[in-house]
Every structure is written in C-alpha cells, then in structure tokens.
Structure 1
Amino acid sequence: MAEIINLRRARKAKARSDAAAEADANRHKFGRSKAERDRSEAAAELAAKRLDGHRLGEPGSDDT
C-alpha cells in the first residue's frame, strides 16, 4: 500500500522549499558577505572622519 500523506502539510512543505530556493538565489544574486559589508562600513566611517577632520569652522565664529 502507498503511504498516506497529509496534502496540506505536503503543500506547505513544498512552498517552504520553493521560498528557500528563491531566497538562496537572491542571496547569491544580490547579497554581500559579512566581511564585505564590514569592510565597506569601516571605509565609509573612515571617510566621514577624514572629511569632518578637514572641516573649517562655522562662518562668523572666531575659533582663532
């Protein structure tokens, strides 16, 4: 005899596996690794600090 399966559970399991496959494809297509994200975040912070370090004073204020 054939194994009796619950069609609702089978349908939900198939939907989950399809969603997982689509998510995996999107990760490969659009995603970056954690190291790449950390590296770009650190570079952006460094650039912002350098830019702020070269900032002149407010016009009209005498910081001399």
Structure 2
Amino acid sequence: MYLEQTAQRAMTYLDSVGVAADYDIKYMVLVVRTDEHEFSVAHDGFLTDFICNIASAYPQKSPV
C-alpha cells in the first residue's frame, strides 16, 4: 500500500510540473520512468528521499 501511495504522490507531482511519466510496482519495488530519468525505491526504502530525488530532477518552476 505504501508504494502505491508513493507512486500516486510522485505522479501527481510530475503532472504538476508538466512531466509525463509511468510507474510499475514489481517485486515490492516502485519504478517511476520519465523520458529522461528512471527512479526506483524498494518497499523498505526511504520513500521521502525518493520523492525528493524526483523533485530535485524536476523542480517547480517559479512564476514569471
């Protein structure tokens, strides 16, 4: 359940910054793929760090 929630959080974030992505959960590992990057985390990994890594690769754009 935690991986599914984390996947939804990642997809919502990526959608908010305009990045298309897919995700898979296999063997208790979450993988999020974009055109440029692939992020993965195991069920017992640091889920917050996982989201932070995605945000670091795709930061929010400040309004002009």
What is the TM-score with the length of structure 2 in the denominator?
A: 0.29
- Of structures 1 and 2, the one with the larger relative CO (CA 8 A, separation 6+) is 2
Larger proportion of strand: 2
Which of structures 1 and 2 has the bigger CA Rg?
1
Larger proportion of helix: 1
What is the TM-score with the length of structure 1 in the denominator?
A: 0.29
